[in-house]
Amino acid sequence: MEGYTRTGRGDNARVLIYSHDTFGLGHLRRCRAIAHHLVEKNKDVTVLILTGSSIIGSFDFRSRVDFVRVPGVIKLRNGDYTPLQLHIDIEDTLALRESIIRHTASMFDPDLFIVDKEPLGLRGEVEETLHVMRDRGVPTVLGLRDVMDDPDLLEPEWERKNVMPALQDLFDAIWVYGLPQIHDPLAGINVPDSVRRKMTYTGYLRREVSSDGNLSQPAKIDSPYILVTPGGGGDGEVMVDWVIRAYEADRQQPYPALIVLGPFMPSETQAQFIERATVLDDVEVITFDAHMESLMSEAVGVVAMGGYNTFCEIMSFDKRALIVPRTVPRREQFIRAKRFQELNLVSMLATEKQADVSAMITALRHLPQQPKPSEVVVPGLMDGLENVDRLARRWIERPRRALTLAEKRA
pLDDT at 234: 85
Confidence (pLDDT) at 4:
44
Mean pLDDT check: name the lowest of 4-13, 91-100, 138-147: 4-13
Give residue-wise pLDDT tens across range 56-106.
888 899 999 999 999 988 766 666 677 777 888 889 999 999 999 999 999
Q: What is the pLDDT of residue 1?
A: 39
pLDDT band at 219 (very low <50, low <70, confident <90, very high): confident
Domain 225-375's class?
A: alpha beta
Environment class of 68 (CB within 10 Å of its CB; exposed 0-12, middle 13-18, buried 19+):
middle
8-state DSSP, 404: P
List, for residues 266-308, the tens digit of each pLDDT value: 999 999 999 999 999 999 999 998 889 999 999 999 999 999 9
pLDDT score for 351: 86
Residue 216 phi, psi (nearest 5): -90, 145
Residues 33-38, mean pLDDT to the nearest whole number: 97
3-state SS, residue 169: helix
Mean pLDDT of 18-23: 80
- How many other C-beta atoms are found inside a 10 Å radius of the C-beta of residue 60? 12
Cα angle at 197 between 193 and 202, to 5 degrees?
A: 140
Residue 154 neighbours by CB distance under 10 Å: 21
CB 60 within 8 A of CB 290: yes
pLDDT band at 327 (very low <50, low <70, confident <90, very high): confident
Q: What percent of the chain has pLDDT over 90?
A: 75
Q: For residues 120-124, give the mean pLDDT.
A: 94
Q: Report the DSSP beta bridge partners of residue 229.
A: 304
% of the chain beyond a pLDDT of 70 = 94
DSSP string, 183-198: --TTTTS---HHHHTT
Homologous superfamily (CATH) of 13-206+382-409 is Glycogen Phosphorylase B; (3.40.50.2000)
Give the Å distances, CA to CA, from 344 to 203, 206, 338, 369, 373. Answer: 18, 19, 10, 13, 7
Mean pLDDT of 41-57: 92
Half-sphere exposure of 70 (CA within 13 A, CB side): 31
Q: Is residue 186 predicted with pLDDT exceeding 70? A: yes
User: What are the residue ranges spanned by the domains of the chain?
Assistant: 13-206+382-409, 225-375
Chain-centroid distance of CA 279 in Å reads: 34
Residue 25: closest CA among 102, 116, 93: 116
Q: In 265-383, where does DSSP find H-type helix?
A: 267-277, 292-297, 308-316, 332-342, 357-366
Of 367, 218, 381, 383, the C-alpha closest to 291 is: 218
- Fold: same for 13-206+382-409 and 225-375: yes
Indicate the average pLDDT of the chain.
92
**Which of 54-63, 101-110, 133-142, 192-201 is predicted with the least confidence, judged by mean pLDDT?**
54-63
